[in-house]
A and B are shown apart, each in its own frame.
Chain A
Amino acid sequence: MSGIDLIGVSKSYAGSDRRAVDDVSLSIRPGEIVTLLGPSGCGKTTTLRLIAGFERPDSGSVGLGARVVADSATWVPAEQRGVGMVFQEHALFPHLTVVRNIGFNLRRGDAAKRVAQMLELVGLTGLGDRMPHELSGGQQQRVALARALAHDPVVVLLDEPFSSLDADLRLQMRAEVRRILKDAGATAVVVSHDQHDALAISDTVVVMRDGRIEQVGTPREIYQFPHTRFVAEFVGASNVLHGVMGATGDRVDTALGEIACAHTHGLAGGTNVLLSVRPDSFEIDEDGPVQGTVLSEIYAGTNTDVTMRATTANGQSLDLLIHAHPERALRVGDTIRVRVLPDFVAVIEE
C-alpha cells in the first residue's frame, strides 16, 4: 500500500468558470483511511476522480506511492494506476457471478485462491456463485469492496459507499468496511457528504468547501475543534457566538459571560473572535450562570434537543441549541439555567 500526495492540484470543467478543485494539497500516509467530507459541489468527488485517473488536473501533481501519476508532463490513465474503486450503487457487473465480479480482470496464477481469500475477508464465503441481484445491499457492498481489494490496489477509493444503504445496515457497514480496510492494510480515500459516516470510518477527515480544503484533522479534532464556521456548522450543529479573547488566552468573553476555551489558536487577548460552542457543551445546572426559557424541546432518545432563549449580560436575548440529558423532562416555557463545559468549545474563523 502506498501513500497519496496531491500538490497544488486544480481542475475546472469545460463550460464552468469556477474551479471544481482549487489548489488542493494533501498528503495521505500508507494504510490511512481518509474521508473527503463536504456538501455536494465542494470538489470532493472530483478530487477522488483525479486520484483515480478519470480526470486530468489542469495544474499540480498527483503522486501514488513513489510514482507521480499526473503532472504537467506525466499522465498515467486509470487502468494503469492500480487503484481500486467502490461506488455508491456498488456497480457490480450484473451479468457476472460474485466470484467473476471479484475476479474481474484478475490476471494472476492464483486468481481463484485470491478470490476465495477476498470472499473470506468480506465474510461472504459460500455465496460466490450468486448473481449480484440475489444479494442484499450490504452483501453487494462487500462484493464491491472485495473486487476493489482483490487486485492489491495501491489505494482504494470509495465514492459515497454508504449512501445507498438503510440506516441500520449503514451503522453495521461502517464498522465492517473499516475492519476490512484495516485488515487488508489498505490506504483508502472515502468521499462522503455524511458527517456520521466520515467520523465513524476515518483516521483523518478532510472537510472541503468550494474546491478548497477547509480543515484536515482526526474525527475528534474536526468535531471538537472546528477551525471555521463552515466546519462547525457542517459537521454537527453548533452555536456560534461573537466574543473577545480574554487576556490570559484561555477564556473568551461573550454575551453569555466568560467561556473557558482551550482551543484559541494562540490569539492575543482583546482580539475579536467567533466562538463555536457545541450543544453538548451546555449542561443544565441549577447554579449555571446562563438563564433562559425553553422555546421548544424535541425528544430524540439519546438526548433532548432543546432550544433555549437565553438572556445575555446586556439584556438582549440569544437562542441556543442545547443537548439535554434525555431523562430530564422539560416543557416549553420552563425556566432553566445552564453552564458551559470547555470540552467542545473552539475559536473559529468566519
Chain B
Amino acid sequence: MISAVHTLWARAWRGRPPQGWLLLVSLATAILMAAPVLYVGVRALAEDAERWTVLLDERIPALLWNTVSLAAVVGLSAGVLGLSLAWLVARTDLPWRQTLRWLVAIPLAVPPYVGAMTYVVVFGPRGWVSDIVGSTPIDMYSFAGAAFVLSIFTYPYVFLVAGSAVGRMGRAHEDVARSLGLGRFAVLRRVTLPLLRPATGAGIVLVVLYVLSDFGAVALLRYSTLTSAIYYQMGGFDTGAAAILSVVLIALTLVVLGVEASTRRRARFYESSGAAQSPRRIELGRLRWPAFIYVATVFLFAGLMPLMVLGYWTAQGLLIDGLDPRFLQFALNTLQAAGLAAAVAMFLAVPVVYLRSRHASVPAAVIERLAHAGYALPGVIVALGVIFFSLRLAPVVYGTALMLSIAYVIRFLPQAMQSASASLELVSPRIDEAARVAGLRPLGVIVKVISRLIAPGVLAGGALVFVSSAKELPATLLLRPAGFDTLAIRVWVEASDGAYHLAAPPALVMVLLSLLPLKWMLDRFREA
C-alpha cells in the first residue's frame, strides 16, 4: 500500500520528487500568491443573485464595451507604433538609429498616469496649448484622449518584444522570397511581417493586459473602465459589487491570457534555428528622412514632451514652494515598501523557479502557474483580495505597510521569477549533480551553488520588482496605511487636484528610477 503511494507520488513528479522543504516553500508561496485573488471570486459568488443581475443588466455591458474597445484600439495602435519603430530601428538605414533605439524606449519609464498628467497639462482644456491657441486638437477627456495616451505610453512593450524578434530574424526567409520573385515591398508584406506576427501579438497582449489593469491614466482622463469602476465601487461603500466586477475583469484577463498562450505555442515554430546570418539593412532611399521624422515625432510626444513638462513643473514647484518637507518621508516610504517587496520576491522566486526547472512535472507546473496568479491581474483586484484575505485570516497584517509589500509581491513576483528562470535555464542540471557528487545536500546545492550562479538574474528581477512596486498606484491607493503615502500616491493626489507643481517632483523621481532598469531590459531583449 505504502509503496503504491510512493510509486504514484514518484510518477506524478516524473520520477524526480522534490525535497519536502522545497515543495513546502514553493507550495506556500503559490498559495500566498493565489489565495487573495481566489478569495475575490469567492466573495463575488457569495453575493445575491439579484446584485449580479442588476450589475449584469445595467452596469457591466457598458463598462465591458468601454474596456474592450479601449483595449482593442490601444492594442492595435500600440502594435502598429511598436512594430514599425522596431523594424525601422533594427532593419533600415534610418539616421541615428542607435540613439533612436534608446530614445523610443524611454516611454516605458513613464508610468501612464504620469504621462496622462503631462497630457492634461499640455492638451487639457485649461492646458498650455489651449492657453496659446485657444483650442485643443484633441479632447483629452474622451475615448480618443485615453486611447492616445495609453497607446504612446504602452507601445514600448511591442517595440521590445517585436524588436527582439526582428533582431533574431535570419536572412534566409527573405532571401528565399526574393529568389522566388518577390520585390522588396512584397517581401516585407508577405514574409517579414507574417514572421513577426507572433512576437507582435505577444507584445500587444502585454499592452492589452496593461490597459485592462490601468487605473491612474483612465481615471485622470475621466474615462471609465472595469478597473476604474472597481476602484470607485470600493470607494462607494460597495465591496460586493467591486468583487462582482472583479470577477468579470478576471474572466476578461483570462481570455486574453488564453489567446496569449495559443500564440506563444505557435510562436515557437517561428523561431529560426541554426546560426542564421543577420539580414541586410534595407535602404529607405527617399523615405529615409520622412521615416526619421516619424520616429522623432513619436519620441517627441511620448518621451521628450512628458519629460519636459515634468522638468518644467518640478522647477516651478521648487521655485514656488520649495520641496515639500514631507518629500523625504514619502521617498523613504516608497523605498521601504518597494524594497521589502523586492527582497521578498527575490527570496521566494528561487525555490519556485528551481522546482519548476529541476523537478519539471505537472505538480511543479501547477505550483508555478499559481504563483503567477497576480500576474496580469489589475492592482485593484489584488488589493481587494489582500484586504478580504488579511481581514479574515491575518488581521495582524491588516492596515500595515507590510500589506502593501505583500500586494506588490503578489503583483510582481512573476517578474522576479521570469528573470531568475532565464538565468537558471543557462545553468545545466549537470552542475547540480556535480555539486551533489561533491558532497552537498540538496539545500546546499541551492544555497551554495545555484543561488550564486543565478544571482545576476535574481538581482535583476529584484530590481524590476522594485521599480514596478515604486510606480504601483491602484493597490497602493486602496491599501496604504494612514500616514504612509508613497511617491506614486503623491503624484496621484496632487495631479487629481491640479497641483502639478507638487505632482511633478515625485513623478520625475519615479521616471528617473524607472530609467535604470531600462538599459538592462533593452539589452536583455536584444540578446533574447
Contact = CB atoms under 8 A, between A and B. Distances in A.
A79 interface: yes
Interface string B180-196: 11110010001100110
B175, B176, B182 interface centre (most CB from chain A within 10 Å): B176
Contact of A89 (B182, B190, B272): B272
Contact of B173 (A91, A151, A164): A91
A82 to B, nearest CB: 7
Contact of B175 (A87, A105, A107): A87
A246 interface: no
B269 A132 contact: yes
A162 to B, nearest CB: 12
Nearest to A80: B181
B274 A105 contact: no
A78 B170 contact: no
Contact of A94 (B190, B269, B280): B269
Contact of A79 (B173, B178, B197, B276): B178
Nearest to B272: A89
Contacts of A133: 268-269
Nearest to B187: A79
A91 B172 contact: yes
A37 B273 CA distance: 23
Contacts of A148: 176, 179
B181 A105 contact: yes
B181 A82 contact: yes
A107 B195 CA distance: 22
Contacts of A94: 195, 269-270
A54 B175 contact: yes
A151 B176 CA distance: 12
> Taking chain B's interface residues, is the majority helix, strand, or loop, or is none over half, making it mixed?
helix
B76 interface: no
B79 to A, nearest CB: 17
A222 interface: no
Contacts of A147: 176, 180
A94 B170 CA distance: 13
A88 to B, nearest CB: 6
A173 interface: no
A89 B180 contact: no
B31 interface: no
A181 interface: no
B83 to A, nearest CB: 16
A91 B176 contact: yes
B177 interface: yes
B172, B191, B194, most chain A CB atoms within 10 A: B172
A164 to B, nearest CB: 6
Sorting the interface of chain A by its residue count into under 10, 10 to 19, 20 to 34 or 35 or more gives: 20 to 34
A122 interface: no
* Most chain B CB within a 10 A radius of its CB, from A84, A88, A147, A157: A88
A102 to B, nearest CB: 10
Contacts of A93: 173, 191, 194-195
A328 interface: no
Given A79-B178, A79-B181, A89 B195 contact: no
Contacts of B181: 79-80, 82, 105, 107, 151
B176 A95 contact: no
Contact of B179 (A79, A132, A164): A79
Query: Size class of B's contact patch?
Result: 20 to 34
Contacts of B197: 95
A83 interface: yes
A193 to B, nearest CB: 13
Contact of A78 (B178, B195, B268): B178
A131 interface: yes
A52 interface: yes
Nearest to A96: B194
B263 to A, nearest CB: 12
B102 to A, nearest CB: 24
Contacts of B180: 79, 84, 104-105, 147, 151
A33 interface: no
A95 B195 contact: yes
Contacts of A132: 269
B395 to A, nearest CB: 53
Contacts of B269: 94, 131-133
A21 interface: no
A89 B190 CA distance: 19
Given A94-B195, A94-B270, A95-B270, A78 B276 contact: no
Given A89-B274, A94-B269, A94-B270, A105 B177 contact: yes
A80 B272 CA distance: 26
B273 A164 contact: yes
A282 to B, nearest CB: 38
Contacts of A105: 177, 180-182, 186, 190
A89 B273 contact: yes
Contacts of B191: 93
Interface in B172-231: 172-173, 175-183, 186, 190-191, 194-195, 197
Given A95-B195, A95-B270, A132-B269, A89 B178 contact: no
B117 to A, nearest CB: 42
A340 to B, nearest CB: 42
Contacts of B186: 105
Contacts of A64: none
Given A88-B274, A89-B272, A52 B173 contact: no
Nearest to B180: A105
Contacts of B177: 104-105
A100 to B, nearest CB: 11
A287 to B, nearest CB: 52
Nearest to A84: B179
Contacts of A52: 175, 179
Contacts of A157: 179
A98 B195 CA distance: 16
Nearest to B183: A79
Interface string A81-116: 111110111010111000000001101000000000
A85 B274 CA distance: 17
Given A91-B172, A93-B194, A132-B269, A78 B179 contact: yes
Nearest to B173: A91
Contacts of B274: 88-89, 164
Interface in B146-194: 170, 172-173, 175-183, 186, 190-191, 194
B173 A78 contact: no
Contacts of A82: 181
A132 B172 CA distance: 15
B450 to A, nearest CB: 33
27 contacts: A52-B179, A53-B179, A54-B178, A54-B280, A79-B180, A83-B179, A84-B179, A87-B176, A89-B172, A89-B274, A89-B276, A91-B172, A91-B173, A91-B175, A91-B176, A93-B173, A94-B195, A94-B269, A94-B270, A95-B194, A95-B197, A104-B177, A105-B182, A132-B269, A133-B269, A147-B176, A164-B273
Which 6 residue pairs spanning A and B have beta carbons closest together? A91-B172, A133-B269, A89-B274, A87-B172, A78-B178, A85-B179
Given A93-B195, A147-B180, 10 more contacts: A78-B178, A78-B179, A83-B179, A84-B180, A85-B175, A85-B179, A89-B272, A91-B175, A132-B269, A148-B176
Interface of B: 170, 172-173, 175-183, 186, 190-191, 194-195, 197, 268-270, 272-274, 276, 280
